[in-house]
Structure 1
Amino acid sequence: MNTKPNQHALKLANFTPYRLAQLSKKISDRLSEKYQQQFDLTVPEWRILVHLADKSCADNPSVSAKIITREASLDKSTASRAIQTLLTKGFVLKQGDPVDKRAHVLLLSTTGWSLYEKVAPLVLEWEREMLASLEPQQLENFLAVLDKLDTYITNT
């Protein structure tokens, strides 16, 4: 039995996917402090709310639950529970899809927009404070690296 450490062993502290996942979780947890207690929103509910707001700025203000689930990086059951909660709280409306009569689309209600307009400035300010810890050139490089990695992952 070989008890000698493998020189090719994976070191989590140096493994980029692990570090990115850990950082993403920390950022999400800290960011959620800005809206969870004050607005009674969970992380999945916020993700759905902000994605619906983002999609509403496009030509079509409604979007399917399937698309929101994918773009908010949520599993189907988590997204379903969050959507149901947002519907119950009156932040989201569900309507028949005009293109596919068998499907439904989601959109923010007036109350949902009002909530979004209260939370968005808080999270944007938090983001500004976090990014202020970087020098301007570091921020520019960081954003360029994120874009490059995203392009690589998307195209491979």
Structure 2
Amino acid sequence: MIQSIDLQATPGHLIRRAQQIAVAIFAEQLASADITPVQFAILNALLGSPGIDQVSLAKRVAFDPATSGSVIGRLEAKGWVVREADPADRRRKLLVVTPQGVQALARIQSDVAQVQEKILAPLTPQEQSQFVHLLSRLVQGHQAA
């Protein structure tokens, strides 16, 4: 007879639960900011790499191009991002954060830092560092595979 798996002891389940908790904390902390975690990730990546194309951006933030495209469309509608023609290839569009997008990021920067602190709050400072290090190794190990 098949037995039930203890999901509380499986990394996949725990990672999914941790993601749910992280998204809930983000939503609560930034409820009035009109931004989602995915929108923040894309806007933040664009701030660090102005003039990047959509495919490269999608790889950088680990989203599929279709998802990143729809999120970019919403950021454009808010006036936070613009698509500009690539001078080297007019068919290709480059993405740039607008001054309004920079202001939006500046307004939420401390809130985003607080989100990270709240996510890790149950852990000691040493555990927090170790946890982030191990998650990073896990992600990098699977990206290399």
TM-score by length of 1: 0.78
For residues 48 and 154 of structure 1, the distance between their equivalents in structure 2, rounded to whole angstroms, comes to 19
The question of whether the paired residues in 1 share the 8 Å contact of 2:81 and 2:96 is answered with: yes
Q: Which ranges in structure 1 are unaligned for 5 or more consecutive residues? A: 56-60
The code of the aligned residue for 2:116 comes to E
Partner of 2:19: 24
Distance 1:81 1:29, change over 3 A: same
Q: Larger Cα Rg: Structure 1 or Structure 2? A: 1
Output one character per residue of 1:37-66: Cα deviation in whole Å (capped at 9) or x when no partner: 3122234322221221232xxxxx211112
Separation in structure 2 between the aligned mates of residue 106 and residue 113 of structure 1, nearest angstrom: 13
Consecutive unaligned residues of structure 2, counting only runs of 5 or more, are none
Q: Select the residue among 36, 44, 51 that pairs with 1:50.
A: 44
Secondary structure of the 1:133 match is coil
Corresponding residue for residue 38 of structure 1 = 32
* Percent of matched pairs sharing the same residue: 21
TM-score normalised by the chain length of structure 2: 0.83
Does 1 or 2 have the higher relative contact order (CA < 8 Å, sep 6+)?
Answer: 2
The Cα of 1:114 is off from its aligned counterpart by: 0.4
Structure 2 distance, partners of 1:147, 1:83, is 26
- Of the candidates 70, 73, 81, which is equivalent to residue 92 of structure 1? 81
Alignment of 1:1-156 (within 5 A): 4-6=1-3, 10-35=5-30, 37-55=31-49, 61-156=50-145
How well do the aligned residues superpose, as a CA RMSD in angstroms? 2.2
Check the 8 A contact 2:25/2:115 in 1, yes or no: no
Shift of 1:131: 2.7
The count of residues paired between Structure 1 and Structure 2 equals 145
